[in-house]
Structure 1
Amino acid sequence: MSENLENKTTSVAYTDDHIRHLSDMEHIRVRPGMYIGKLGDGSFAEDGIYVLLKEVLDNSIDEFKMNAGKRIDVVVEDNLTASVRDFGRGIPQGKLIEAVSVLNTGGKYDSKAFKKSVGLNGVGIKAVNALSKRFEVRSYREGKMRRAVFSQGNLELDETLSSGEKTGTYIAFEPDESLFKGYSFRSEYIETMLRNYTYLNTGLVISYNKTRIESKNGLEDLLSDNMTSEGLYPIIHLKGDDIEVAFTHASQYGEEYYSFVNGQHTTQGGTHQSAFKEHIARAIRDFYNKNHDFSDIRNGLVAAVAINVEEPLFESQTKIKLGSTHMGPKGPTVNKFVGDFIKTEVDNYLHRNAKVAEVLLKKIQESEKERKAIAGVTKIARERAKKVSLHNKKLRDCRIHLNDVKGEDKEDSCIFITEGDSASGSITKSRDVNTQAVFSLRGKPLNSFGLTKKVVYENEEFNLLQAALNIEDGIDGLRYNKVIVATDADVDGMHIRLLLITFFLQFFPDLIKKGHVYILQTPLFRVRNKKETRYCYTEEERVSAINELGPNPEITRFKGLGEISPSEFKHFIGKDMRLEQVKWRKTDTVNELLEFYMGKNTMERQEFIIDNLVVEEDLA
């Protein structure tokens, strides 16, 4: 019997008809993940529509770097279409069609033209073309405009006209909704992207929907705009050939880094960020000529580093982590290049600025004093965490993690922090075991505001959570890309959310600032008739569902996550999972924070939470 079955499965015909050749545009559409990472609908900063916009912008930025055009106009209409107009040299018109539709075609393979570019592989703009419902490119050169229009990568119009417009390139695209289902551009993500471009390119002016964006002080402005607590001393801003750094220390725990390569925001760091971390600590320690621990030197450090690398190598097409070990084919190692600059410039600065050196030393000594005071507690807590199997009731782990050396789905890795056994049970039974982990709280976590880091080690839950996330020494080793707080949408659930957010803000602010913390949105109601079931997240959705499914549909009010069966829960943590990113900016106030996370609760609930929190004034 088994032999017959085996023969049946191996005797399927395999003929010439099974061999299929895809054109460049077809291949991108069939395998978009190879070119832009995830697709998404624009809800998250890493979604594909922003990668498309960035690919277009990178070409215009490269023109600016070649001293061709100091202004870029960006227009987004109805959150659906985007256009970028630069005033560079314009794409050579004779090769315009090939430049936007044939892979491995471009002007950046010859390093003489683009020494230190981001878009070196001839893929980016072609991916935008292939993945757009409509794509238009115009090249303005020598009094002529050549214009081409594509649909899903297929050429529909090619014309050359006379033109009096300034030299440059115009590209407009509308992402294909059949791929980016229900997508919508979010202005906040675009503004962050554009501001990062201006921080890295002083002198560049970007007009975004007629709003002027520019930076006069580069990375110093970046830190000033992103820091949520005052620096202990003025930001130290150092520039050299192909390198720029800015840093200060703040009254906060942990370390906070912003790193860039050739203008590309490497959100997951890489060899340049690792080199900076090592050498900034080494240079400061050598200056004081005392054997300070690196962790004490870097505690509270807020820094930005940007380097230019010839022909950079990234770990993925989305270019968020630098893999290059050398500055170029014949250049020094990234580690030596960054190290030599930091050693010389930081030492010189501290010798010239005695007051800054004095403040910095005091900060290091305070960190050292606190670390030694809790050394015994820390050692015991680490031993306890090792003894506790991380596969017990507290943590149900997944197979793929963000800090894995390799893995296509690393960025899909997430961990749900739940309250109580019933909620964690429902999620555990319905989760994707490859990418979704579950950490279960016993009840309300401790209010950690105003406490020292000693509490992280003394409190068993905090200690085990820290170990599960692997963030004791910073977020470089973070095991999950998304840390998702999954609590009931009632008063107690809201309180737990705020307590967890307080914990992260207090001891691991970079976790929130780098966009890793989310709130899981789950339905409040189920409305169904014999033919259809609707899950409603708001009162408005409930009313709409009743009107559409009537008469007399069955209405269920979910009072807690534990009431939702695993078979239903899988819909809420699958591809249609609704998440709200926890955001924290310098301009945020606590009242806005509370209002945001309380959502559509009644005034009575809002007053209850405010009355029972002691952190409402202190979080600012």
Structure 2
Amino acid sequence: MVKKSKNTYDNDSISSLKGADRVRKRPGVIFGSDGLEGCEHSVFEILSNSIDEAREGFGHKIVITRYQDHSVEVEDFGRGIPVDYNNNEQRYNWELVFCELYAGGKYNTNSAESYEFSLGLNGLGLCATQYSSEYMQVEIHRDGLCYELEFEHGENVGGLKKSESSRKQSGTRIRWKPDIQVFTDIDIPADYYRDILKRQAIVNNGLLFVFRNQTDKGFETEEFLYENGIEDYVKEIAGDTALTSVQYWSTERVGRDRPDKPEYKVKLSVALTFSNRVKCTEYYHNSSWLEHGGSPERAAKQATVSQIDAYLKQNGKYLKNESKISFSDVEDCLVLISSSFSTQTSYENQTKKSITNKFIYEAMTDFLKHQLEIYFIENPMEAGKIAEQVLINKRSREKAEKTRLNLKKTLSGNMDIANRVQKFVDCRSKDISIRELYIVEGDSALGACKLGRDANFQAIIPVRGKILNCLKADYDKIFKNDIISDIVKVLGCGVEVKSKANKDLSMFDLNGLRWNKVVICTDADVDGFQIRTLILTMIYRLMPTLIEEGYVYIAQSPLFEINTKQKTYFAYSESEKTKILSELKGQKFTLQRSKGLGENEPDMMWLTTMCPDTRRLIKVTPTDAQATSEMFDLMLGDNLQGRKDYIAEFGADYIDQADVS
């Protein structure tokens, strides 16, 4: 026998996957992923079959149970899956449905017995989920009989069992456990079920979804029901923030994607309103949430921009030479939910997150344009509000973009920053891993630090007085402040603007940071503490990542200087002073309050504040980011009453630090 080399590639090298292995060894092909997302999609495949039944008028409730052992159960009250012998196929239907890919009851869309609008199309979902399960238990009630099936690792166990049904209602109950040998993670969180069931309730008017979640205390039950579907959902999103009334429009169209393709039916429903507080656009097709949009999303963009632009032009709302609105301007004040159904659907892939039907795009674009035109004519006051808000959004966006470009021009570039930033003193080294930037208080401290530093790796920039409170000021005012813009230039990493309204200003790049340490160095008095807090506030608002990644430090200045003949001691707190004095009993010493940074001799500045071996640096860490945020907002924000209440309650704790006489 000739032993083949592992590099041999011949006629015997080709093989094919058969049976359950087609899914078990390549789950990502069917479910889009072999991870948790794919496992979640396998659940949706079973749920979608029950939804299709209910939409056809068979069953008003679907019950989904999440068990602690990661198994799942879906129960509906439809007609029950046909599982007995199929004369046309000469096989049992349960074999076709549970064990045969591309087998199902949704291919013949012209049949009176078929589903008119179906979420499941390809005959893959039920079989693929069964193949990818550790076990699956099926109980079907129809025609007065109870049918039971059991599968393990994709293989049937015991065939089809039939008995008299004790239930009056027909329906299907399927319990299965996703196989950890197939998926890398099967611990589907409860929030996934809540999200998907809410979405299905939104687009399936009057269909009740019951979610049972097993915990250590038993089963927790939640219900999801929208009697008026997407119209109720839009009202829920907008709440009392709506600028206009909620509109609901629906229609049915017949068409084709290409002249040589067959005609199919499309049912379109859209609910919308406008708001200056919230925005939301969601698109559903055959009750599947189109997370990546596709045809309906493109139609909504085209129709809304076209009609609102036409209204603005017809009513002279644009300024002279003003540019046209974009969809982002509309979207910022739009709450729009669309739900479409079609007898033929072209999904981008099996996960059904986007559709590509050309006719659906054309039909929805035409439908929305027509409805918006009528709506604007019949509701001139609301049309005026919409036009005004869209123009506000547009002009704000353009202003933010102009500010961003100016800011980028101001803060970036390869010019020597020492020549661009007044009084900035750079260091010699270009090695970012050792470079340190000291942000110091005032020009006098600049002089002492400049003479006392190690010029090889320590640079200095002075802050002249108290800088702008970045929690109260808007971005335009912040970036016009010379001190702040100088600091941002020197740091080199740009700014990150965590605001929906000003997201275009964000230009942060941590790789652009020119320093290994950013050290805030101020006097140990009330003014120094306030300046330090304002600098921290600036960094916290404009570049919080520097704090999160541990680049920001505070240089702790000594409060007291204690001199003996042999040695000089520095105390950084009252308790340290007391401890040092107790150790010096019997020795002559002098005690004095430590001088401000600007009054220190260069060698003293090096020893106490800048020498890596003797200085004390406090790393600013986001150990409790939420608490930090709340305290910054309270102390430096607009909540005057909250600040007063805090001072009244805790002010006595800080009275010793107050600079009063």
* TM interval, short-chain normalised: 0.5 to 0.7
The answer to whether the 8 Å contact 2:132/2:182 transfers is yes
Instruction: Rate the CA distance shift 1:10–1:153 in 2: closer, same or farther, 3 A.
Output: closer
- The 8 Å contact of residues 241 and 277 in structure 2, kept in 1 or not, is answered as no
Match of residue 103, structure 1, among 101, 109, 113: 101
Partners of 1:34 and 1:385 in 2: CA distance: 47
- Shift of the alpha carbon at 1:148? 0.9
Is 1:190 matched up with 2:193?
A: yes
Using the alignment, how far apart are the partners of 1:354 and 1:376 within structure 2? 33
Q: Does 1:29 align with 2:30?
A: no
Number of the residue aligned with 1:528: none
Deviation at 1:448, TM superposition (A): 7.5
The answer to whether the 8 A contact 1:245-1:303 is kept is: yes
Partner in structure 1 of residue 154 of structure 2: 153
Structure 1 segments unaligned to the other structure (5+ residues)? 1-7, 42-46, 326-332, 389-419, 423-445, 474-491, 504-518, 521-596
Change (3 A) 1:450 1:136: farther
SS of equivalent to 1:140? strand
Deviations 1:317-345 (A, max 9, x none): 211122222xxxxxxx2232011211221
Correspondences of 1:289-328 after superposition (within 5 Å): 289=314, 290=316, 292-294=324-326, 295-325=328-358
Residue in structure 1 matched with residue 35 of structure 2 by the alignment: 40
Give runs of aligned pairs for residues 14-25 of structure 1, distance below 5 A. 14=9, 18-25=13-20
AA aligned opposite 1:313: S
Evaluate the alpha carbon distance shift between residue 101 and residue 93 of structure 1 in structure 2; reply closer, same or farther with a 3 A threshold: same
Partner residue of 1:367?
393
Q: Would you say 1:273 and 2:309 are equivalent positions?
A: no
Change (3 A) 1:9 1:360: farther
Q: Which amino acid aligns with 1:101?
A: C
Which residue number in structure 1 is paired with residue 52 of structure 2?
62
Residue in 2 that maps onto 1:251: 276
Query: 1:190 Cα deviation (Å)?
Result: 0.6
3-state SS in 2 of match to 1:221:
helix
Residue pair 2:308, 2:387 contacting (<8 A) in 1 also: no
| Mapped contact 2:471–2:537 kept (Cα < 8 A) | no
- The secondary structure found in structure 1 opposite 2:196 is helix
Say whether the 8 Å CA contact 2:119–2:287 is kept in structure 1. yes
1:339 and 2:371 equivalent?
A: no
In the superposition, relative to structure 1, how do residues 203 and 607 fare at CA in structure 2: closer, same or farther (>3 Å)? closer
For residues 592-618 of structure 1, give each alpha carbon's deviation from its aligned partner in whole angstroms, at most 9, with x where no partner exists.
xxxxx97xx57xx86544322469999
Q: Conserved in 1, the CA contact under 8 Å of 2:407 and 2:479?
A: no
Q: Which residue of 2 aligns with 1:352?
A: 378
Once the two structures are superposed, the pairs formed by residues 405-554 of structure 1 within 5 Å of their partners are 451=474, 499=541
Q: CA deviation at 1:304?
A: 1.6
> d(CA) in 1 for partners of 2:479 and 2:155?
57
Native 8 Å contact 2:30 2:128 kept in 1:
yes
Contact 2:329 2:393 in 1 (8 A): yes
Match of residue 142 from structure 2: 141
After superposing the two structures, state which structure 1 stretch, 350-359 or 336-345, moved more. Answer: 350-359
Aligned partner of 2:131 in structure 1 is: 130
SS at match of 1:13: coil
1:568 maps to what in 2? none
Contact 1:72/1:87 (8 A) holds in 2: yes
Whole-angstrom distance in 2 between the partners of 1:167 and 1:233: 45
* 1:195–1:213 Cα contact (<8 Å) kept: yes
Instruction: Report the Cα distance in structure 2 between the residues aligned to 1:141 and 1:421, rounded to whole angstroms.
Output: 74
Secondary structure (helix, strand or coil) at the match of 1:308 reads: strand
Mark the CA change 1:502 to 1:265 in structure 2 (over 3 Å): closer, same or farther: farther
Distance of aligned partners of 1:421 and 1:347 in 2 relative to their CA distance in 1, 3 Å threshold = farther
**CA shift in 2, pair 1:55/1:10, >3 Å:** same
Deviations 1:58-95 (A, max 9, x none): 11111122111121111112161111111112111220
1:572 corresponds to which residue?
none
Structure with bigger gyration radius: 2
Per the alignment, do residues 609 and 376 of structure 1 end up closer, same or farther by CA in structure 2, a change over 3 Å counting?
A: closer
- Cα distance in 2 between the residues matched to 1:102 and 1:496: 62
Secondary structure of 1:233's counterpart equals: coil
Aligned-partner SS, 1:307? strand
- Residue 84 of structure 1 pairs with residue 85 of structure 2: no
Structure 1 residues 345, 49: closer, same or farther in 2, change over 3 A? same
Which of these residues, 173, 176, 182, is aligned with residue 176 of structure 2? 173
Give the alignment's TM-score, normalised by structure 1. 0.60
| SS at 1:248 equivalent | strand
Q: Does the CA contact (< 8 Å) of 1:108 and 1:117 recur in 2?
A: yes
On the 8 A contact 1:456/1:462 being kept in 2, the answer is: no
2: distance between equivalents of 1:35 and 1:314?
A: 13
CA contact (8 A) 2:49 2:120 kept: yes
Give the letter aligned to residue 364 of structure 1.
Answer: V
Could you tell me how far apart the structure 1 residues matched to 2:402 and 2:626 are?
41
Q: What is the one-letter code of the residue matched to 2:206? A: G
Output the CA distance in 1 between the equivalents of 2:471 and 2:311: 35
Cα distance between partner residues in 1 of 2:540 and 2:173: 46
Q: Secondary structure at the match of 1:173?
A: strand
Query: Are residues 495 and 370 of structure 1, via their aligned partners in 2, closer, same or farther at CA, if it must alter by over 3 Å?
Result: closer
Separation in 2, partners of 1:497, 1:146: 66
Cα distance between partner residues in 2 of 1:198 and 1:188: 15
CA shift in 2, pair 1:375/1:103, >3 Å: closer
Tell me if 1:204 matches 2:204: no
Asked whether the 8 Å contact 1:104–1:123 carries over to 2, the reply is yes
Alpha-carbon distance, 1:500 to partner: 8.2
Once structures 1 and 2 are overlaid, which stretch shifts more, 378-387 or 82-91? 378-387
TM-fit CA distance, 1:213: 1.3
The answer as to whether partners of 1:259 and 1:304 remain within 8 angstroms in 2 is yes
Are the structure 2 counterparts of residues 277 and 384 from structure 1 closer, same or farther at C-alpha, using a change threshold of 3 Å? farther
> How well do the aligned residues superpose, as a CA RMSD in angstroms?
4.3
Q: How far apart are the structure 2 equivalents of 1:216 and 1:230?
A: 22
CA contact (8 A) 1:97 1:148 kept: no
CA displacement at 1:24 relative to structure 2: 3.2
Q: Is the 8 A contact 1:279 1:339 kept in 2?
A: yes
- Aligned AA for 2:165? S
Given the alignment, which residue of 627, 630, 633 partners 1:610? Answer: 630
Aligned to 1:221: 232
SS at match of 1:116: coil
Give the Å deviation of 1:371.
4.3
Given that 1:135 and 1:151 are in contact with CA atoms closer than 8 Å, whether structure 2 keeps it comes out as yes
Measured after TM superposition, the shift of residue 182 of structure 1 is 5.3
Aligned-partner Cα distance in 2 for 1:354–1:285: 15
Asked whether the 8 Å contact 1:374–1:454 carries over to 2, the reply is: no
Distance in 2 (CA, whole Å) between partners of 1:380 and 1:9 is: 67
Residues 167-200 of structure 1, C-alpha deviation per residue, up to 9 Å, x if partnerless?
1221111111233345322111211100100110
Structure 1 Cα separation of the partners of residues 18 and 360 of structure 2: 38
The number of residues matched between the two structures is 429
**For residues 371 and 116 of structure 1, do their structure 2 counterparts lie closer, same or farther at Cα, with a shift above 3 Å needed?**
same
Q: Distance between the aligned counterparts of 1:362 and 1:204, measured in 2?
A: 39
